[in-house]
Amino acid sequence: MKASRSSGVKAKSKARTAGKAKSTAKPARKRRQPRKRVSAGSKPRRPRAVQAPHPRRELERLLALRNEHPERLGDIDSQIHEAFAETHAVMVLDMCGFSRLTARYGITHFLSMIHRLHGIVLPIVRAHGGTVVKTEADNVFAVFPDVPPAVATAIEIQQRLDAANVFLPEDWDLHASLGIGYGELLMIGDDDMYGNEMNIASKLGEDIAGRGEVFLSEAAHARAEGRYESRQIPISAMTVSAYKLLL
């Protein structure tokens, strides 16, 4: 009887030990299935947005085409007109005294004066609804929807410069001459333009008008208000009518 009891106790002990071993044993991890690799060619790709060419490059392309195919001049010129032609008043400002001031004080002094001039002129242009297309050295080129705001801008610029000069030494004074034209221009993006009226406005602003003066082309004068003095101006072997604004 004793032997059977001891064997029974041993059997129960073994069963308990086996139970504990089963309960403490960690479950086997499931093996992950390897991911299927998708070839790059089979992935769906988002379509790229087609960017329009820069206006400058597009103009150059059309001009090259025009040179290569003179038989298509009419068609290509129509494409250029459709893409770039706009009608504006154009104002060209030239800062006076470049050579004298640069020779006396050096280019850095004159560049600082240009910086100060831009700080006065550019906000006035924008306040009258104009757009500054570009600045080159001491020149400012701007366009307006029509002539009256361009003239109003020119008048305010001269007034503001006169006011600024009261507090400056004479050789630091800011003086400008301005020319205004009106007509069709080729607008090349936001930073360049071409056209006959821009050429005339440049000539008037840079070569004809003196410091503190504003001159208008004949086309601009036809849309302007105010008092003017008529002049006959030689420009590139031609004589054109120009009108000095009487301030």
Q: Report pLDDT digits (tens) over 47-62.
A: 665 567 789 999 999 9
Q: Is the pLDDT of residue 226 over 50?
A: yes
* Average pLDDT of the segment spanning 193-204: 97
Q: What is the pLDDT of residue 9?
A: 46
Q: Is the pLDDT of residue 44 over 50?
A: yes
Q: Is the pLDDT of residue 29 over 90?
A: no
Higher-confidence position of 110 and 22: 110
**Tokens 């069709």 correspond to what residue?**
184
The interaxial angle of helices 98-105 and 107-127, nearest 10 deg, is 140
Band (45; pLDDT cuts 50, 70, 90): low
Q: What is the pLDDT of residue 168?
A: 79
Q: What is the pLDDT of residue 43?
A: 52
Q: What is the pLDDT of residue 97?
A: 80
Q: Is the pLDDT of residue 64 over 90?
A: yes
Q: What is the pLDDT of residue 28?
A: 55
Strands 176-188 and 214-217: parallel
User: What is the percent of the chain where pLDDT is above 70?
Assistant: 79
For residues 48 and 27, give the distance between their C-alpha atoms in angstroms, rounded to a whole number: 50
Segment holding 81, helix H or strand E: helix 73-84
Band (229; pLDDT cuts 50, 70, 90): very high
* Average pLDDT of the segment spanning 81-98: 95
Identify any residues that bridge with 244 across adjacent strands, giving them in sequence order: 215, 229
Q: Is the pLDDT of residue 192 over 70?
A: yes
Q: What is the pLDDT of residue 36?
A: 53
Structure tokens at 177: 């001459």
Q: Is the pLDDT of residue 21 over 70?
A: no
In this prediction the pTM is 0.78
For residues 174 and 3, give the distance between their C-alpha atoms in angstroms, rounded to a whole number: 125
Q: What is the pLDDT of residue 201?
A: 97
Of how many residues is the chain composed?
247
With the CA atoms of 198, 142, 93 and 213 taken in that order, what torsion angle do they form, in degrees rounded to the nearest 10?
90
Locate the domains of the chain by residue range. 86-245
Q: Hey, what CATH class is 86-245 in?
A: alpha beta
Identify whether the C-beta of residue 204 lies closer than 8 Å to the C-beta of residue 213.
no
Q: What is the mean pLDDT of the chain?
A: 86
